[in-house]
Amino acid sequence: MASSPDMISLADRARPLKKSHIRTISKAVKAVDGINLGQGICDLPTPAPIKARTHEAIDANRSIYSHHAGIEALREAILEKATTFNELPASTIDEVVVSAGSTGAFVIAAMTLLQEGDEVILFEPYYGYHRNILKLTGATVRYVPLGGPDDAFDPEAMEAEITDRTRAVIVNTPANPSGKVWRRDELEALLTVMQKHDLIAITDEIYEYMTYDDAPHVSLGALPGAYERTITLSGFSKTYNVTGWRLGYAVGPAPLLEKMGLMNDLLYICAPRPLQHGMLAVFEDLDEEYYTSLRSDYHERRSLMCETLEAIGFDVPWPEGAYYAFADFSPIQDRPGFSSDEEAADTLIQESGVGCVTGRSFYSDRDRGSTKLRFCFGKERPVLKQACDQLREAFG
Ligand SMILES: Cc1ncc(COP(=O)(O)O)c(C=O)c1O
């Protein structure tokens, strides 16, 4: 019997797993009692109606397993939202699976579609969980560069990475970390490539309500001819400040979603039951005003964050969506402590008490992120203001 961790033989899929740099940063920030703009968690309060409905569900002992794809009322409500807000041509709740966060939904999509020998296209900078979950399936990830908000999708760059083994493409709009919001014409061009090579898309739209400067959120699955080859993912974490509740969902063609539902059953049995009931408040108790004010609050936070980073010398492509500034410190790289992203992140913690994420975390070739840092502005305003003041004081 193995007695020390070194003696335990691990599965190949577990061996490369490492503590993410985000967690290392969080520890370093805590050590100086600083402010963490690293992790993509919003510490804003959960809307009261959601909490009240959840308390009711717990008090009413709605505690047993639900249907593996989620309670019917929530799937009905998600279906309605998917057909109106996202304009997806979905028509029955068989096209909806509620899972353990949008991450759970991504896992079941990837596990249902991909296996060793398959290839999958991922745009970079990417969200690390996408890459690492794709790798768990045994599929090979092919990277296609797609920069920030000002960079347009280049079908030729994607075609260059497609082989006869390519099965799927991952889309993230609005994107983490770049803040890019895919335009309709870009999605149309993507669909043309997908149709030509018979690809399926998994599209992560978790930041769909956080768009700025009138950048409209467009769902790939809404384009004519796209729905039958698109799995649309979203969730409640970001829009309703419930990242720890683990509730998200997938919408897509019924035959595919049926298998994904069974995969969901196998991996999670169901999403947390009382929280599913509580989340009905989103559809029944929150009105349009909630989203309008969410957008304008984040709009202000974006200005505060981006203006601060510009003031201290960073080059900042302002995000069109999501709640991250993915900024480049090349203009101040000759200052001591800014020779690499790792050193710069450390300098920021030591000198201003502000934590962020290193650029290398978002690229397959870490050198591409070596002058970049990601800052999350999904914070209570006084906390964000304090962080910005500290940055200006230390580096302004
Ligand atoms: C692009 C993206 N997708 C998904 C998630 C996680 O979403 P969930 O909490 O629904 O699993 C995050 C969180 O940072 C994210 O940035």
| Domain co-membership, 92 together with 168 | yes
Distance CA 283, CA 77 (A): 7
22, 46, 122, 127: which to mutate for ligand 1, most atoms within 8 A of CB? 127
Q: Mean pLDDT over all residues of the chain?
A: 95
Structural domain includes residue 7: no
Is a pLDDT exceeding 70 seen at residue 6? no
Mark whether 93 and 16 lie in a shared domain: no
- With respect to residue 131, please indicate whether it lies within any of the assigned structural domains: yes
How many domains does one find in the chain? 2
Tell whether 387 is covered by a domain: yes
Could you read off the pLDDT of 299-352 as tens digits, one per residue? 999 999 999 999 999 999 999 999 999 999 999 999 999 999 999 999 999 999
Q: Which two tokens stand for residue 32?
A: 């100086």
pLDDT tens column, 131-176: 999 999 999 999 999 987 788 999 999 999 999 999 999 999 999 9
DSSP-derived letter for residue 151 is P
User: Is 5 contained in some domain?
Assistant: no
* pLDDT 10s digits, 13-26: 999 888 777 778 88
Expressed as residue numbers, the domain containing 35 is: 12-41+288-395
- pLDDT given at position 1: 47
* C-beta separation of 141 from 134 below 8 A: yes
Query: Angle at the Cα of 245 (from 230 to 212), degrees rounded to 5?
Result: 60
- Tell me what pLDDT residue 200 has: 98
Pocket test for ligand 1, best of 78, 182, 206 (most atoms within 8 A of CB): 206
Residue 6 covered by a domain: no
Q: Does any ligand 1 atom lie closer than 6 A to the CB of residue 203?
A: no
Give the mean pLDDT of 103-116. Answer: 98
Q: Is the pLDDT of residue 2 over 70?
A: no
Q: CB of 271 within 8 A of CB of 246?
A: yes
176 and 317 share one domain: no
208 in a structural domain: yes
pLDDT of residue 39: 78
CATH number of residue 18's parent domain: 3.90.1150.10
Q: How far, in Å, from the CA of 169 to the mean position of ligand 1?
A: 17
Residues counted in the chain? 396
On whether both 32 and 101 belong to a single domain, the answer is no
How far, in Å, from the CA of 236 to the mean position of ligand 1? 10
Q: For 28-67, how does the pLDDT look when each residue is reduced to its tens digit (9 = 90+)?
A: 999 999 999 997 677 788 999 999 999 999 999 999 999 9
Q: Does residue 4 surpass a pLDDT of 70?
A: no
7-11, 178-182, 258-262, 326-330: lowest mean pLDDT where? 7-11
**β-pair partners for 170:** 122, 202
Q: What is the mean pLDDT of residues 77-83?
A: 98
Binding site membership of 107 for ligand 1 (Cβ less than 6 Å): no
What share of the chain in percent tops pLDDT 90?
Answer: 89
CA end-to-end distance (rounded Å), the chain? 58
With the most atoms of ligand 1 within 8 angstroms of its CB, the residue from 42, 98, 103 to mutate is 103
